Amino acid sequence: MNLKYMTEEAVTNLSLNMMTNYGLYHSSEEWLDGYLQSVLEDKTWCMESSIPYVPVKLVTGDGSRFESKFDAANAKKIYESLKHLTPVQATDPRIWTYLTHTVYFDYMKVRWMKEEGTAEGTMKRFFVNNNQGVIRNGISRLWWYGYLTYDPSRGNPYELTDLLLLNQDMAQGLLERKLGNNREWLIMILGCIQKYRNDYPDIIKSEVIQKIMKQINYEGGVTLLDVLSSQELEALFLKIIERLNLEKSESQIFNT
């Protein structure tokens, strides 16, 4: 089958009326087609692309409470099912709004409607408001996690996907900067974290990741990070680790 997408008119209407329609998103009844047929005066609200696509079943646990650890498994599933997407196509709000409202609507309800947070913040997970919004949309974020970290040169090409999603601070810190869209840079910095995580066990803790990202952001203001070689980036990474005075593992202390 081929991937479908919403028309611009349908996306605009749903986005503008997301808070008015908030109750519909909690409904157990099918409402989308009837609603859009009505407000769009029976116009077609979705189209079929030429992009091959196979829907996948996403992990939701028991359905009562979602755990963020499922994000890595779901990122792999979504990326595998939509590998034919180009990065340009993957910024198209029409694709992701269709998927969040149809194919993966039940997943969205479990993943985001039951999370603590503002109603407006939850509803924005169904849409893509700008290029940065693809990391906020409930389905596109999974594709981008997979796309940006997939490394076929590794024995497990999704090794860095698992690493990125060990905690939300790491994903947020690395991807909410513009350089997060630089696939090569992201793979290199995650490679550094993976390489030294056994030597410095605290390196993957949320509070440490935040400090590392702060230092990287600072260095980004005085250094063109995107043009650093892997060796130069690793040297910078180790300098930041030394500056933070992280405790070494016992085995590393013994070997020094």
Give 163-217 pLDDT, tens digit per residue. Answer: 999 877 778 777 765 545 578 888 988 999 999 999 999 998 888 888 888 888 7
pLDDT-derived band of residue 162, with 50, 70 and 90 as boundaries? Answer: very high
* pTM confidence score: 0.89
The angle, 0 to 180 degrees and rounded to 10, between the axes of the packed helices 206-222 and 230-244 is: 120
Residue 6 has, within 13 A of its CA and on its CB side, a CA count of 28
Distance of CA 66 to the CA centre of its chain: 16
Query: What is the residue extent of each domain of the chain?
Result: 1-153, 166-256
User: How much of the chain, in percent, has pLDDT values that exceed 90?
Assistant: 60
Distance of CA 208 to the CA centre of its chain: 21
pLDDT-derived band of residue 116, with 50, 70 and 90 as boundaries? Answer: low
Write out pLDDT tens, residues 35-60: 999 999 988 999 999 999 999 999 98
Q: Is the pLDDT of residue 131 over 80?
A: no
Q: Is the pLDDT of residue 254 over 60?
A: no
Q: What is the pLDDT of residue 15?
A: 96
Cβ atoms of residues 219 and 225 within 8 Å: yes
Write out pLDDT tens, residues 216-242: 878 766 677 778 888 988 998 999 999
State the chain's maximal CA–CA distance in angstroms.
Answer: 73
Q: Is the pLDDT of residue 11 over 90?
A: yes
